[in-house]
Structure 1
Amino acid sequence: MKDSGHRERFKTGALRETRGKTPLDLMSPFAEERLGLWLQKGAAKYSARNWERGLPYSACIGSIMRHVNKFRRGLTDEDHLAAIMCNAMFLLHFDEMMAAGVLPSSLDDRPKYIKPRRPK
């Protein structure tokens, strides 16, 4: 078990290492559930985890933009917010997989206006 040497003491007296841990408990349970339901619909339509094979950035960005426009117009035919979140998640995942060399960098088909930078 990894040990940073930093502990947090809780009111009960229990100790736990918490520093440097990703606070996944801060995520909205509503957003997670709606994202999961959207992914379930996608799995039924395309097969489970199909998206992990990689999609061009332009396909995800286009989908985000279409769903933003539909949400702005007040359309309720689909869960447009979940679709936006889902495509943003795809882009985050593809960015990590390309950085790790798992997916080809050619998926990033954005116009090259400036020299690419990774966030700090």
Structure 2
Amino acid sequence: MITSVKDNFMMDLINDQRDHLNRLPSSGSMTNFSTGAVRDAMQGKGFPSMIPTCALKSLAKRFEDGATKYGRDNWQKGIPLSRYCDAAHRHLWALRDGKTDEDHFGAVLWNIACWQKTKNMIESGMLPEELNDI
């Protein structure tokens, strides 16, 4: 039977996908559960289940409010790191002063999260080095 180049390409693609599904990354260490189940170890992967949901909700709400006011991805266009640092400190001071005029917890989290992401984007060349002004 004669097969076309397209058929060969599709078969290769299917086989590559199957091979990819069969290769799960492994840390080299396993956890055995009392039920007999086994999973790759968690060390070094963090504990997302320990993050307080109230913090995540405040952060998510801050992203929503910012998207409404400035546009969904405005912050990803590039803001100098010093602006995040300064704003995070101002919101921390507002918390210490007992101010309740806005969600200062969410604002601190938002500024720290965006500071870290912006720094990562600068280091990976996705944003200009000039934004790293601290």
Larger helix percent: 2
Measured in 2, the distance between the counterparts of 1:22 and 1:68 equals: 25
* Corresponding residue number in structure 1 for 2:62: 38
The TM-score, its normalising length taken from structure 1, stands at 0.83
Quote the offset at 1:24 in angstroms: 2.2
**Secondary structure of 2:106 counterpart:** helix
* CA spacing shift, 1:3–1:38, aligned 2, 3 Å: same
| Residue of 67, 78, 81 corresponding to 2:91 | 67
Distance in 2 between residues matched to 1:88 and 1:20, nearest whole Å: 22
Q: Which runs of 5+ in 1 are unaligned?
A: 111-120
**C-alpha spacing 1:4/1:71, structure 2 compared with 1 (3 Å):** closer
Distance 1:78 1:60 in 2: 17
Equivalent residue, structure 1, for 2:79 = 55
Name the amino acid aligned to 1:30. Answer: C
Q: How many residues are aligned here?
A: 110
In 2, the alpha carbon distance for the partners of 1:101 and 1:22 equals 26
Code of the aligned partner of 2:76: E
Is the aligned partner of 1:21 residue 2:35? no
TM-score by length of 2: 0.75
Query: Hey, which bits of structure 1, 4+ residues long, moved more than 6 A?
Result: none
Q: Secondary structure at the match of 1:44?
A: helix
In 1, Cα distance between equivalents of 2:50 and 2:73: 25
Please, which moves more after superposition, 54-63 or 20-29? 20-29
The one-letter code matched in structure 1 to 2:96 is: R
1:63-102 correspondence to structure 2 within 5 Å = 63-102=87-126
Unaligned segments of structure 2, at least 5 residues: 1-23
Q: RMSD of the TM alignment (CA)?
A: 1.4
Task: State the structure with more CA Rg.
Answer: 2
Work out the CA distance in 2 between the residues paired with 1:30 and 1:45. Answer: 23
Q: CA deviation at 1:23?
A: 2.6
Secondary structure of 2:66's counterpart equals helix
